[in-house]
Chains A and B, each alone.
Chain A
C-alpha cells in the first residue's frame, strides 16, 4: 500500500520526523483561512506514484493568487492513470543541502537495505554508485539505526548528524508500523543544522493492517484514496479499476491469471475495466461478494459486457454458477450481457445452470474472448 505523501508525512511525524508545516486540500474543500506558513508554498498533488514533479503536479508558488491557481490547476489532473483528488499545501523549504535516506525491505536478503547519499533531490537510480552508501542489516530497530551511523561516517558533521537523527526515527517507524519502504528524498538540511523531510515515500504492508490500528484507520477513513486497500480490508478480496473508460468488466479469480487476462485483452485492443481476484474459495455458499462485484462493474460508465473467467482447481463450478446467477438477480437493473469461460471441477452442472440463465459458456478462454469481441463489435 503506497501512501500518499501527506499521509506518509503524518505517519512519520508521529515518530518524531520533522516535516514542513502543511495542510490537505480536496476537490470540495477550500483553502483554510490560516495557511501553514506565510509563503512561499509548494502545492503537491497526492497520488500513489512517484515522478510527480516531472508530471507537473508539484508547483512552487509565492502569492496567495498563485496558490489558488496552483491548487485549481493540479486538482483533477490525471497522472499515471490516477486522478489527483487532493493536494498538500506545504511551507516551502529554503534549503542549502539535499540529502537522501531510505530503508527498504530487501526481499532477497530477508533484511533491511539502508541507503544514504549526499546527493538527494535526484532519483536514486540516477546517482552514481560511488556517491551512494548502502548496507543490508537485520530487521531490527537498533541494527538499522546503527547502520545509518556507520554509513554516515566521514560525511560533513551537520549532514552526518541529520542522517543519524533521521536513521533512528525512521528505524522506529519502519519496525513499529511494519513498513516495506521509507524514502526521504530530499532530506533538506538547513544552514543552521536543522533538517526536515522534503518528500516522503512510504509503502505499508496490507497484510499487517489487522494489527496496525493507525494504518487501518487511515484506510477506513480515507477509503476514497486507498480504494483497493479499503476493498481488501472490508471485503477480503482484490479489486482494482485499471481503466475508468474500460468496456469489459472482469469477473475473475486468481491474481496472476487476472493480470494475464488484462494483458492479453489489451494486446488485442480490447478495453478491460477492472482487475479482480475474487477468491472463489472464500464464498462459502454466500453470493455477497459476487453481488458487490457486479454492482461495482455495472457502475463503470463505459462497461458493456461482463467476462467471467474461472479456472477451478478446487472450486465447485456448479455452486459457483448458481451463486453467480443468484447474484445477478440481486443487482437491481443488472442488464449487462455475460460471457463465461469455466474450466475444471463441476463443469457439467454449471453448463446446465448457465443454459437456464442464458449465459454463453465456453471452456476455452480464447474462444470466450473472441465472443466478447464479437458482441462488442455488433453492439
Chain B
C-alpha cells in the first residue's frame, strides 16, 4: 500500500530544470532524500546540480531504477507528468502543484488507481518520514521523528502545528499532506489501514478544513476498521462564508455541505478529539501521547 520510504529510496523529480524544481531538489537532498534523476521534456541540460536529467520518466526509471517521483511542473502540465510517471511504473507519485484543473484530476485518479500507483496530491506540501527522507516542501523546522502520524489538507497550517508539536517534543512517524484539492490521489480514509499497522505510529492527527466530506469519510472508516490508536483533529474554516472558495479549491461550503459543524459532529462521534485552536491541540496531544 505504502512503499517503504527512507534515505535509500530512489526518487526522480519531474521539472527539475525549473525554478521550483531545482530549488526543492536541492533542499530535499539536504534533508537526505536520494534523488537519482530529473525529468525535463525539453532536456536542454544533461544534469542539474549533479543530478542527471532525462527527457521522460520512462527513461529516467529505466536508467536509475527510481520508484518514487516528485512532479514540480505547472498546473496545465501536471496531467501529462502524471501520465508519464504512471507509464514509467513509478510506485509513489507526489505532486505539490496547486490549481490542477479538477477534470484533469479525475483523469489522473483513474490512471493512477488502475495502475496501482500511490498518488499524493495535487496541491500537497508533500510527505516525509522525518529523519529519513522527504518528498515535497515540508519545512525541516517542523519535521521531528516521533510517534504521531500526521495527515493534512493544508501545508501552512500543518507546518505551524508540526512546528509547535515538535517544540513540545512530539514528533511525527509518517507525515502525509493529502492536499487541498477536492479530487485527489489519496484521501485521509485511504491511509487509515496504513497507520493502523504502522508500528512507529502511536497516535494520529488530521488537520482538516471546511469543504467536501473527506473528514466525514475518515470518521466513518475509523469506526468501520475499529482504529484503536488515539486520533486528534484540527479543522480550519469554521468562520468562512458560504459559497466562497477559501484559497484551496476544496474549501468551499454550500449549504450544510462541507461545513465545520458537520465535520466536527462526525469526527466526535468516531471518538476523535477535535480541537478548536492550535494551542489546545498541542496541550491535548501532549496529554495523551
Contact = CB atoms under 8 A, between A and B. Distances in A.
Interface of A: 1-2, 47-51, 80-82, 105, 107-108, 110-111, 123, 125, 138-139, 175, 178, 180, 201, 203, 205-208, 210-211, 228-229, 238, 240, 242, 253-260, 262-264, 266-267, 275, 277, 281, 311-314, 343-345, 365-366
Given A80-B243, A255-B209, A256-B152, A264 B163 contact: no
Contact of B156 (A208, A210, A256): A256
21 contacts: A48-B243, A50-B243, A51-B255, A80-B241, A107-B250, A108-B217, A110-B110, A210-B75, A210-B76, A240-B241, A242-B241, A255-B154, A256-B154, A256-B157, A257-B154, A259-B157, A264-B278, A266-B239, A281-B20, A314-B24, A365-B160
Contacts of B217: 108
A342 to B, nearest CB: 12
Contact of A206 (B103, B249, B276): B249
Nearest to B240: A259
Contacts of A48: 243-244
A206 B245 CA distance: 9
B248 to A, nearest CB: 5
Contact of A207 (B101, B213, B277): B101
B254 A49 contact: yes
B279 interface: yes
A81 B241 contact: yes
Contacts of B24: 314
Contacts of B156: 253-258, 311, 313
Interface string B171-209: 000000000101110010000000000000000000101
B247 interface: yes
Contacts, number: 194
Given A205-B102, A211-B101, A259 B245 contact: no
B163 A343 contact: yes
Interface of B: 20, 23-24, 27, 75-76, 99-103, 106-107, 109-110, 113, 125, 137-139, 141-142, 152-160, 163, 180, 182-184, 187, 207, 209-210, 212-214, 217, 234, 236-252, 254-256, 276-279
B243 A207 contact: no
Given A107-B183, A110-B110, A264-B278, A255 B102 contact: no
Contacts of A178: 101-103
Which of B20, B255, B279 counts the most A-chain CB atoms under 10 A from its CB?
Answer: B255
Which of A50, A108, A259, A311 counts the most B-chain CB atoms under 10 A from its CB?
Answer: A259
Nearest to A312: B139
